[in-house]
Amino acid sequence: MPRTSVIECPGCPPVRALTFDVLGLIKVVEARGKEKGVAKVVERWGEPDPSKCVLAASIDDCEFDPLLAVARKCGSIELISPVNGDLRLSLSNGSQVDGEPEDDPVSGLHLFKKKKLQSSSRSCTLLSCSKKGRVVLRSVELSSGDVNGNGTPLTWTVCGSGDVLCSKVDENENYALFGGKRVEVNVWDLEKRTKIWTAKSPPKNNLDIFTPTWFTSATFLNKDDHRKLVTGTNQHQVRLYDIAAQRRPVISFDFLEASITAVTEDLDGRKVYVGNGSGDLASFDIRTGKLLGRFSGKCSGSIKSIARHPELPVLASCGLDRYLRFWDTESRQLLSAVFLKQHLTSVVLDSQFNDEEVAGSDAPIPPNVSLELELDESLDEGEEDPQPVKKKKKSKELSGSKKKKNITLDEDEEDPQPVKRKKKSKELGGSKKKKTKQQSIVLYTFDGVCLK
Amino acid sequence: MGYKQPKAKNYDGDEDNYNKDDKPKMTTGQQLLPSMIKNKDKRSAVHAKLKEQKKLEKRKKAKARDALEKRAIELGEELPPRPVPRTIENTREADETICKPDDEELFAANDADEFSSVLKQEHVPKILITTCRFNSTRGPEFISDLLSVIPNAHYYKRGTYDLKKIVEYANKKDFTSLIVVHTNRREPDALLVIGLPDGPTAHFKLTKLVLRKDIKNHGNPTSHKPELVLNNFTTQLGHRIGRLIQSLFPQDPNFRGRRVVTFHNQRDFIFFRHHRYIFENKENKQSDSKTTKNKDGKVESVSKDRVIARLQECGPRFTLKLRTLQHGTFDTKGGEYEWVHKPEMDTSRRRFFL
């Protein structure tokens, strides 16, 4: 009898993920238990309907009254409660000019997190970007269902031609970037609604061949710095742009041979996770452009979306192979995989989930949740919120580097380096320790003894 | 030398009671494996002995089983159940992606997918067949065979067109699928099946091609629409591939044509066969051939109106293996794959994807 190999999934810490698929279904996947929960589908919202295919989703997972925005193919944007799946409000995607919503589908969506705190009545601000480059920024009163909560929706276009494929709002929610096919990455100031920066395409290569612009994914690298962008292109290139330095990429490196489909930054802004069209997922050290390692786990379909958990070392990825996978960000091992039957378009993590309040998912969230969690795309307004010691150190140092940047904008490229390097050495020591620990764990599991 | 000598002696001295030695070892569970013995002669002796033992045991078992069966027949009892042999297929690794018949999501997905318009007979399948740039000898012959298998298929010369241009052209002309036969060293070795206008692109490896003219006693297919048999496409991916293949053929077969096209999936290999079948009365055959007259009349009376089906193979015979399934039409550079075969998936012989 030949031996059969079964991948041992170690199980993942308690996480809650919401996945969106081509039939417009929203599936809630939860992993419960202290350490080694197996992720399972808990709920399914919506009826299968191909015209309601989810194009983009964004979550605002604050403590009170979390909200989920979902853009559908049929041209509507729905605001849904991520706790129980109730539809709160449905609006059109804002491309009123042409009747057909299929002509100009939504390519990016962002639900603002900070602005709703100002007004007492429940309102939220939404930024949606369509494929043709129409950006709509509007605030919505949830209670009355009034679309024009305070004033008419602000609309502008970010590109003359081409298709916008990726858009992202930075952590402070003051800036947004857009990029796509034949659209160079550009950064907009959302308050003034002006373009503040545009990238410049790289020069012709040594064969005098010009590669056409085609950005497929983009993200801001740092939490509190909108000046560094990471983008992935269709020509399997990952590029780091620095607004303060130059218009051409600072670092640019290749990753395998399929188009990059998803790029997500790590919390500390040093690592990026890159997924591509043939199902490979890897983490890169963005400061050097070196490959840290690939995530190995028989992932065979294009990765559509990656989400980093803001607190735990967990990464969620989903895509065309119909699986939602949870990974350990440090060891790059597969923690758990869930088969979800449809092509998945995006995944978001609900960071407010903790295991204790599992009993009633719609029970009120205890107000004294000590850790305020945030999604990767959420902002870092809560700089003062209590986080692990390590993180605090980081934020301090980061703010230090920021100060320096403010003083000398031009030297920005070289300046933070020494600071960072110091950090690196410190961090390296720490990470090394961790690594050895993990190795020992692995060894133990090989012996058949589980340490955990 | 002084060191080696005693060791050799030891072996010699032990040789007489070697068998005594190793038997208790076997029973105590320590198991002296032949591979642990370094001397080749002794190793092969032990090995032969083990083999002999195994053979005897097997024979004994078979004898006992036969005896049981015989007795059961004599006593008129029911036969003891034959043990089911363990094969790679029935010890297949558990797979959560296998389609379940009561899955309403699956049906909803079926209604929404790219083939539904063809499979619901809203569109008549119309196939464009073309080749790679260089095509000779077996390639054209294979294509002429394919043309006779697939109804409403049209061959277009490839010329020097880009495949993306051909896809565009086929879209304009309302083709529903595009098949590209890729040849390497004058031997067809890959098949690209593209669903149009936005269907998936499947890339198959093509092996073991036997053309119609090389099949002995082959039949010649008629122009009737064939029946289609799709076997063992069980997982979600297999289901999708099955639907892709199904959309190549018309959904209303002419049963008068008695023509059947089979795609049989076994261990991720898809076997293509093309047959004509005929129903015949067994009774006729027995009366014709008088060699089987020694059978008692009882059997003959039973088989009087028994109908048997006979098959005649016609058309090509080949084997496909899926390499990639791409989302959207052909685009190697920027395409997104639904499924790619990767070497790290091949860690088990019992894992199948279709």
**pLDDT value of residue B178:** 95
Q: Are B106 and A341 a contacting pair at CB < 8 A? A: yes
What residue of B is the nearest CA neighbor of A323?
A: B97
**pLDDT value of residue B95:** 86
Asked if the model's pLDDT at residue B100 lies above 70, the reply is yes
Q: Are B344 and A296 a contacting pair at CB < 8 A? A: yes
Of B105, B340, B344, the CB nearest to A342: B105
**pLDDT value of residue A100:** 59
* pLDDT tens for each residue of A306-340: 999 988 899 999 999 899 999 999 889 888 889 99
- The DSSP code sequence of A80-138 is E-TTT--EEEEEE-S--SSS-TTTS-EEEEEE-SSGGGTSSS-EEEEEEEETTSEEEEE
Looking at the DSSP bridge assignments, the partners of residue A215 are: A233
Closest CA to A413 of A183, A279, A241, A194: A241
Residue type for B287, please? S
Asked if the model's pLDDT at residue B99 lies above 80, the reply is yes
- The DSSP code sequence of B162-208 is -HHHHHHHHHHTT-SEEEEEEEETTEEEEEEEEESSS--EEEEEEEE
Closest CA to B208 of B265, B140, B273, B134: B273
Q: Are B327 and A320 a contacting pair at CB < 8 A? A: yes
* pLDDT tens for each residue of A364-388: 444 433 334 343 334 344 344 444 4
**pLDDT value of residue B77:** 83
Q: How high does pLDDT run on average in chain B?
A: 85
Of chain A, the percentage scoring pLDDT greater than 70 comes to 70
Please count the CA atoms within 13 angstroms of the CA of B110 that sit on its side-chain side: 16
For tokens 């098959």, name the residue.
B311
Cα–Cα dist B208/B273, whole Å: 12
Q: Are B112 and A23 a contacting pair at CB < 8 A? A: yes
Closest CA to A196 of A136, A243, A135, A126: A243
Asked if the model's pLDDT at residue B267 lies above 50, the reply is yes
Distance to chain A for B225, nearest Cα, Å: 32
C-alpha dist (Å) from residue B31 to B12, B14, B289: 22, 18, 59
**What are B168's two structure tokens?**
């565009």
| Dihedrals phi, psi of B173, to nearest 5 degrees | -90, 10
Interface predicted TM-score of the whole assembly (ipTM), two decimals: 0.75
Q: Give chain B positions within 8 Å (CB) of A259.
A: 333-336
Of B106, B333, B339, the CB nearest to A300: B339
**pLDDT value of residue A8:** 66
- The DSSP code sequence of A244-291 is TT-SS-SEEEE-SSS-EEEEEE-TTSSEEEEEETTS-EEEEETTTTEE
**pLDDT value of residue A6:** 59
**End-to-end CA distance of chain A, in Å?**
31
**pLDDT value of residue A192:** 87
**pLDDT value of residue A358:** 45
Asked if the model's pLDDT at residue B343 lies above 90, the reply is no
Of chain A, the percentage scoring pLDDT greater than 90 comes to 28
Binned at pLDDT 50, 70 and 90, residue A94 comes out as low
**What are the residue ranges of helices labelled H in A341-387?**
none
Beta pairing, strands A40-45 & A54-60: unpaired
Q: How high does pLDDT run on average in chain A?
A: 75
How many other CB atoms sit within 10 Å of the CB of residue B288?
Answer: 8
Q: Give chain A positions within 8 Å (CB) of B238.
A: none
**pLDDT value of residue A4:** 54
* pLDDT tens for each residue of B330-340: 988 888 999 99
**What are B297's two structure tokens?**
């009349």
Q: Which of A4, A333, A345 should we substitute to test contact with B (largest number of B Cβ atoms within 10 Å)?
A: A4
| Dihedrals phi, psi of B171, to nearest 5 degrees | -60, -40
Of A4, A214, A278, the CB nearest to B93: A4
Are the C-beta atoms of B242 and B275 separated by less than 8 Å?
no
Q: Are A277 and B334 a contacting pair at CB < 8 A? A: yes
Q: Give chain A positions within 8 Å (CB) of B236.
A: 322, 341
Sheet holding A228-233, edge to edge: A215-220, A228-233, A237-242, A251-254
Looking at the DSSP bridge assignments, the partners of residue A189 are: A175, A194
